[in-house]
């Protein structure tokens, strides 16, 4: 009897020991899995956006609407105040459709997910993802990311919203380790309304970084597409040459802006003809992009014929006729879309 009790006791002790060992191993595996890059990067919860203009404010808004905790950062309090005003007006429009009986409550709930600061270092301390939406200058962008590299967590993902600059060149301002966590994340204006986001992969962008960015854009209710780091990515690579050739047609006297717009809207089914779009985007912006592409053309990355200078475009920019932002471009403001 005692012998049976002893054997039972020994077996019980042995099972307890095995169970404890198994639990220890499981706990160790779970800790390991929870700290692997793919697991960490797959759960972006805190977003920092630099630049409180239309684009940056829009990105901050869709991030907050998706449940992310957002920090919006710019160089002045006035810029941040303007950014918050943009977001409030946009949210009010959204609320009219989604929560018409409680517009103020809907807006207030989303705004609670957004805080602001002019302290760039503080802005990224707890961030899982940093998106830059500042001036389209490679030097300014490189300076910003170079500074942030030592301030952000080692597993924080960096993304630039550039529409025309080399993501690789911007990423090279950071450490080799950070370059694996660096990509392009190109939203389209107005961000709350436009579904498309281009995810730009450099040769250094890790798979886990790409997957994390794809997951967070889907949470933002966007439709992500993927492209390598090539001039203009997908949309602008096709769109900019089309816009430039449209201007050349007018310069040669082939057709008027009005007739070209009508032809592309009714014949090709485009929602907006090239000249209406040029005025909406800004002639100075188009000129700036084409100038930057000429450097790429000299390096053999794009055809030189696509980005040859256009006297008519240069003339309008010099005269301050930039499109909608100045009141006149190819059209006067009274003829532009609202």
Active-site option among 73, 127, 161, 163: 163
Q: Is 2 annotated as a binding residue?
A: no
Residues 220 and 186: their CA atoms lie apart, in Å, by 14
Active-site option among 66, 186, 208, 290: 186
Residues 99 and 207: their CA atoms lie apart, in Å, by 38
Q: Is 300 annotated as a binding residue?
A: no
CB 245 within 8 A of CB 218: no
Distances (CA, A) of 302 to 178, 231, 290, 314, 334: 28, 8, 11, 21, 37
Active-site option among 236, 246, 287, 290: 236
Q: Is 52 annotated as a binding residue?
A: yes
Q: Is 63 annotated as a binding residue?
A: no
Q: Is 325 annotated as a binding residue?
A: yes
Phi, psi angles (nearest 5°) of residue 202: -90, 180
HSE, side-chain direction, 13 A CA sphere, residue 45? 4
> Is 85 a known active-site residue?
no
- Please report which residue ranges of 149-195 form alpha helices under DSSP H: 167-171, 176-179
Q: Is 90 annotated as a binding residue?
A: yes
| Nearest residue to 65 via CA among 38, 99, 39 | 99
For the sheet containing 182-187, what is the strand order? 114-117, 69-73, 46-50, 129-132, 157-160, 182-187, 196-201, 223-228
Q: Is 336 annotated as a binding residue?
A: no
Q: Is 3 annotated as a binding residue?
A: no
Which residues lie below 8 Å from residue 272, measured CB to CB, with a gap of 6+? 261, 265, 280, 337
> Is 161 a known active-site residue?
no
> Is 198 a known active-site residue?
yes
Active-site option among 41, 132, 180, 198: 198
| Nearest residue to 245 via CA among 303, 292, 205, 199 | 303
Q: Is 51 annotated as a binding residue?
A: yes
Q: Is 112 annotated as a binding residue?
A: no
> Is 236 a known active-site residue?
yes
Q: Which residues are annotated as a binding site?
A: 51-56, 74, 90, 97, 136, 141, 163, 189, 325
Q: Which residues are annotated as a binding site for NAD(+)?
A: 51-56, 74, 136, 141, 163, 189, 325
Active-site residue set: 163, 186, 198, 236
Q: Which residues are annotated as a binding site for CoA?
A: 90, 97, 163
């Amino acid at each position: 009897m005692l012998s049976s009790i002893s054997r039972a006791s020994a077996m019980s002790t042995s099972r307890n020991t095995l169970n404890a060992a198994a639990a220890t191993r499981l706990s160790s595996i779970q800790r390991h899995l929870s700290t692997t890059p793919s697991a960490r990067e797959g759960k972006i919860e805190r977003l920092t956006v630099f630049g409180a203009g239309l684009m940056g404010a829009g990105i901050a808004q869709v991030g907050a609407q998706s449940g992310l905790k957002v920090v919006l950062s710019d160089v002045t309090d006035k810029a941040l105040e303007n950014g918050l005003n943009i977001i409030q007006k946009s949210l009010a429009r959204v609320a009219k459709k989604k929560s018409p009986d409680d517009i103020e409550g809907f807006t207030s709930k989303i705004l609670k997910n957004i805080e602001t600061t002019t302290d760039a270092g503080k802005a990224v301390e707890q961030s899982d993802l940093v998106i830059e939406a500042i001036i389209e200058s490679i030097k300014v962008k490189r300076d910003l990311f170079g500074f942030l590299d030592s301030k952000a967590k080692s597993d924080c993902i960096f993304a630039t919203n550039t529409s025309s600059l080399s993501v690789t060149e911007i990423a090279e301002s950071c450490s080799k380790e950070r370059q694996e966590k660096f990509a392009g994340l190109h939203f389209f204006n107005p961000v709350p309304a436009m579904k498309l986001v281009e995810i730009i992969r450099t040769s250094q962008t890790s798979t886990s970084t790409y997957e994390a960015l794809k997951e967070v854009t889907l949470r933002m209710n966007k439709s992500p597409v993927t492209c390598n780091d090539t001039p203009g990515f997908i949309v602008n690579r096709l769109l900019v040459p089309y816009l430039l050739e449209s201007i050349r047609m007018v310069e040669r006297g082939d057709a008027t802006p009005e007739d070209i717009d009508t032809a592309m809207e009714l014949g090709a089914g485009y929602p907006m003809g090239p000249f209406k779009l040029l005025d909406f985007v800004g002639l100075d912006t188009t000129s700036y992009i084409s100038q930057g592409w000429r450097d790429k053309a000299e390096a053999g990355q794009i055809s030189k014929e696509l980005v040859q200078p256009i006297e008519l475009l240069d003339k309008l920019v010099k005269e301050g006729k930039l499109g909608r932002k100045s009141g006149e471009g190819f059209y006067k403001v009274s003829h532009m879309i609202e």
